[in-house]
Amino acid sequence: MSEDRLVAHLRAWLGRWPGTGVGLTVVGSPARDEPGWDGGLHRVVGVATPAQGVLSVPPAVVSTLRVWLDAGGSPARTPEVAGLAGDWFDGVFRWTDSPAALPDAGEWVAADHPSVPPWLRRFGGEVLVAVDHGTGEHLAGVGIKRHDPHGRELAVVTAEAARGRGLARRLVAQAARRVLDEGRVPTYVHDRRNTASARVAAAAGFPDRGWSFLAVDPGEPE
């Protein structure tokens, strides 16, 4: 995969890529005031490499945040400084152009199919599910966050009873191959403390390049 796909994704999603210099470049994007992949507002999103990054925010708070960060203020105080509801999130951002050559573990089905668990339905489109064909029990699944025409973020959950079988890594690799075949870049985000998710990502072919995903997490909708 050419890195052009990744650049196209980040420019479309954030409003600019790369930043203008060392550190975080604050960019105002109308997309931050519009519904995202799940129909909710994602007021602050950002991606940073070890050298630079872009923080995409509503246009109305650009000046406030630029002054704060230029003065050496901590990005972690973005919700307070910008007056936005939610908690600061600083996680790991991964992407791949070479998913692991693991065997497929699931089947693609419509997200609104009656057999699909509630957590997967909200992704819409098609989701990737692994099912016990003997019992019909749902074992694991991957949903896709469709941020823009160029990027697809993968999210995976495994039922507790089915953990330890390698299903998650196989499903993530399988989904990533499909995303690449469609001409898009597959990405994966996880909390820094989530070592299980980190292992899944690495095993599926998503290396940790030292990149970060930054956001103000509004929490679950009421």
2-52 pLDDT per residue, tens = 679 999 999 999 999 999 988 999 999 999 999 999 999 999 999 999 999
Does residue 221 have a pLDDT over 50? no
> Do residues 52 and 16 touch, judged by C-beta distance below 8 A?
no
Does the pLDDT value for residue 66 go beyond 50?
A: yes
Q: How far apart are CA 160 and CA 34, in angstroms?
A: 35
Q: Could you count the other beta carbons within 10 Å of the beta carbon of residue 162?
A: 15
Q: What is the pLDDT of residues 116-172, one digit of tens each?
A: 989 999 999 999 999 988 887 889 999 999 999 999 999 999 988 778 888 999 999
Would you say the pTM of this structure is higher than 0.85? yes
Rounded distance, CA 80 to CA 98, Å?
Answer: 39
Domains in the chain and their CATH numbers?
A: 3-95 (no CATH), 107-206 (3.40.630.30)
Quote the DSSP letter at residue 114: T
59: helix, strand or coil: helix
* pLDDT (0 to 100) of residue 155: 97
22 compared with 203, residue with greater pLDDT: 203
pLDDT for the residue numbered 136: 79
pLDDT score, position 132? 87
Q: Using 50, 70 and 90 to split pLDDT, how confident is the model at 217?
A: confident
The Cα–Cα gap between 172 and 188 comes to 9
